[in-house]
Each structure stands twice: as C-alpha cells, then as structure tokens.
A and B are shown apart, each in its own frame.
Chain A
Amino acid sequence: MFEARLGQATILKKILDAIKDLLNEATFDCSDSGIQLQAMDNSHVSLVSLTLRSDGFDKFRCDRNLSMGMNLGSMAKILKCANNEDNVTMKAQDNADTVTIMFESANQEKVSDYEMKLMNLDQEHLGIPETDFSCVVRMPAMEFARICRDLAQFSESVVICCTKEGVKFSASGDVGTANIKLAQTGSVDKEEEAVIIEMQEPVTLTFACRYLNAFTKATPLSTQVQLSMCADVPLVVEYAIKDLGHIRYYLAPKIED
C-alpha cells in the first residue's frame, strides 16, 4: 500500500509544471524514504532529478517499493481539477496498474478522486558522479528566469562565465551581442535577493537556451536557484522545494564543433 498526502495541491501543480515541458512521461519511484524521479528529456541532452522526502508529506506510507510510470499530460489534466488549497492524496495498492489521486477541500465538503492508469516505462537510471564544482552560484530564481528569457532572444546558446567578481551571461547572434553581469551582493536585507558565488577556479561554459528556459519553469517552487559548474561536465540547476525536497536539472554543455 502506498499513500502520500500533501496539504496543498498547489505544490504538486508547481512540481508538474516544472517537469512537463521536458518529459512526456516519467516513473515515480516510491519507497519509505519518499518519492524519487529521474528521467532524461527526449533528446537525451538534459536530466531531471526530483526528490520528495517522506517527512515533508502530511502523511506518507509506503509498505513496498513501488515504481509508478505516469503520463505527465494525464497527470496535468487531473491536477487542473484541484483547487490550490485542496489537500491532495496519492494512493496505490502494491503491484497496482492504477493510481488514485484524491482532492479534498479545506472544509472537507468537496471530495473528488481520479483514477489514472499507470504505464510500464523503460527505466534507464543514470549514475551521477560526485563532482567538486569549480563554481557554485546562488541567485534569485526570478532573476535567473529573466536572464534566460531575455538572452534567448539573441541566440540559441548562452555563455556563462563565472569568476570571483561575479557571473556573466552572454549571448551573441544576428542582432548583436548581449551581456548581463551580476556581481556578488555585499550585504542584503533579504536572503532571497542575494547573489552568492563560491569559486574554486573560474569557469566558462556554453549551454542551450531552450533547456535553461525549460528549467526556469521551476521558478515558482523556490526564491533562489543554485547553479553548479565545472569545466566539461553538466551544469546543475537546483531549486529547493521548501520542507519537501528539491528538483535538479542537469544539462550537458555545448562544445565547439
């Protein structure tokens, strides 16, 4: 028996919004430690890794490890039927071929449930090696989204250059060149507005705008985003999900032809 309950459907809606542009379907691996999802986008350029800890749920029970393959378009249709403040509960029997998603209004006067067919998806788990990153940048998630959106107008690629002075995002195309520099913030009243750079050595890497923009669909989940970079390894873009877990996106760099 698997049962996981969250106080607010809005969190699950935001999580789905953060992954459904990259993934058509995905397997949710449930165990007593929580829910894990790892999947590559169709073109195998990026990897999404979602971790939701069992202690972050209002109620969590998972008697046996369970892999639930879900069509994310179908799940989005179901989540559209929930009000943001509704409680949401996911339930499945051991070895079931369906999952039930139930919404309850705060006053318990409206209860709706949706049974969704599960899919057998080919599981291709990738091993992610531990990396000592050259640069780790923490910055406001909204600012990162804005930069990715703005620079996508100029080029298919963004060059991210990180030094101890700051981080520079550049794009160059037919229109010309765009450069956006962010300096490390000295002192800020609000932690969520800070730009913080931890640098071992400077790094310059090129990434596809299209994927960066897809990752920023996670912006509503978190006030800050963390970018971890190292020469010739995938970029890690991490959004914390408060008291519940995190979503990490890995993006392979572009290299010169």
Chain B
Amino acid sequence: MQKSITSFFKKQ
C-alpha cells in the first residue's frame, strides 16, 4: 500500500 506524504509530514 502506498502511504501519503501527509501521513508523515503535517501541515504547518
């Protein structure tokens, strides 16, 4: 399964 980058880096 491909994870999203937003599941690691949070919006500022």
Q: Are B11 and A125 in contact, with the CB atoms below 8 A?
A: yes
Known A-B contacts A40-B6, A126-B6; the reply to A255 vs B12 at CB < 8 A is: no
The 5 A-B pairs at the shortest CB distance, nearest first, are namely: A126-B9, A252-B3, A125-B12, A252-B5, A44-B4
Question: Using a Cβ–Cβ cut-off of 8 Å, how many residues does chain B contribute to the interface with A?
Answer: 12
Give A218 to B4 CA distance when docked, in angstroms: 22
Chain A nearest CB, measured from B6 CB (Å): 6
Q: In the complex, which residue of chain A has the Cβ closest to the Cβ of B7?
A: A252
Interface string of A125-140 (1 = CB under 8 A from B): 1111100000000000
Which one of A125, A129, A233, A252 lies within 8 Å of B4 (CB-CB)?
A252
Chain B residues with CB under 8 Å of chain A are 1-12
Give chain B residues whose Cβ lies under 8 Å from the Cβ of A251: 5
User: Do A234 and B8 have beta carbons less than 8 Å apart?
Assistant: yes
Residues of chain A contacted by B7 (CB below 8 angstroms): 252
A interface residue count range (under 10 / 10 to 19 / 20 to 34 / 35 or more): 20 to 34
Determine if A2 is an interface residue (Cβ-Cβ < 8 Å).
Answer: no
- Residues of the A chain whose Cβ atoms lie less than 8 Å from the Cβ of B12: 125-127
B1 touches A46 (CB 8 A): no
Most buried by A among B1, B2, B11: B2
> Which chain B residues lie closer than 8 Å to A128 at the CB level?
9
Indicate which residue in A46, A125, A254, A255 contacts B5 across the interface (CB closer than 8 Å): A46
Instruction: Answer whether residue A45 sits at the interface, using C-beta atoms and an 8 A cutoff.
Output: yes
Contact of B3 among A124, A125, A129, A254 (CB under 8 A): A254
Chain A residues near B5 (CB-CB < 8 A): 40, 44-47, 126, 234, 250-252
Q: Given A44-B6, A126-B6, A256 and B11 touching (CB < 8 A)? A: no
Known contacts A126-B6, A126-B10, then 16 further A-B pairs from the complex at CB < 8 Å, ordered by chain A residue: A44-B4, A45-B5, A46-B5, A125-B11, A125-B12, A127-B9, A127-B10, A127-B11, A128-B9, A129-B9, A234-B5, A234-B9, A252-B8, A254-B3, A256-B1, A257-B1
